[in-house]
Amino acid sequence: MKRTTIVTVREFLEECGAAWEGMPTPQSFVLEHGMQFPTMAPKQPKLGRLKACYKNAAQLAMNSKDVIYVEGFAAGIIPVMHAWCIDLEGRVLEPTWTHALQAKRDYFGIPFNLQFLMRQLAVQEYYGLLDQPRHGWPVQSSPREEWIHPNYKEKGPQCPEDPASSTPSAKNS
């Protein structure tokens, strides 16, 4: 049996793919609408509670000017559903995971409109947007214009430019 090693979050999402009962899975939805965020912001926010990434990222976005909430998948050792924020330059602001580990992280996600996030939090009464079958998959069943952050309406799943990267393969991975 041939063993394949999945190296990036994008590769993980491509392996997962497929829809479930006619609705895109969080993996296939993030692959279709998300993008890779390869660069960490030089100044990181104060860390919130571990295992509370959705709450930490939502609160950072709601309480900070020029910060965008992102939800998708991130990996160090294995890809997991995760939430973080980005600055206006698309650089990762990580409010949950320790900064010492961030250099080895791979982030791939969707930047969300803050008003959509706040409306959903009021309806759901808990954090997180992508994996919400009890609420009718609000992101997946709503028009893109309603949930995508305005700065990313015209962008597809391309990567923001990584100024530290000079090779095309690093920009497209």
pLDDT digits (tens, 9 = 90+) for 116-149: 999 999 998 889 999 887 778 889 889 999 999 9
What does the pLDDT read at residue 58?
98
Is the alpha carbon torsion for 35, 76, 15, 162 positive or negative? positive
| DSSP string computed for 64-109 | STTEEEEEEEEESSSEEEEEEEEETT--EE-SSS-GGGGGG-EEEE
Residues of the chain with pLDDT under 50: 1-5, 157-159, 162-173
- What residue type is 105 in one-letter code? R
- To the question of pTM greater than 0.85 for the whole model, the response is no
Alpha-carbon dihedral angle through residues 46, 31, 29, 89, given to the nearest 10 degrees = 40
pLDDT at residue 69, as a whole number: 98
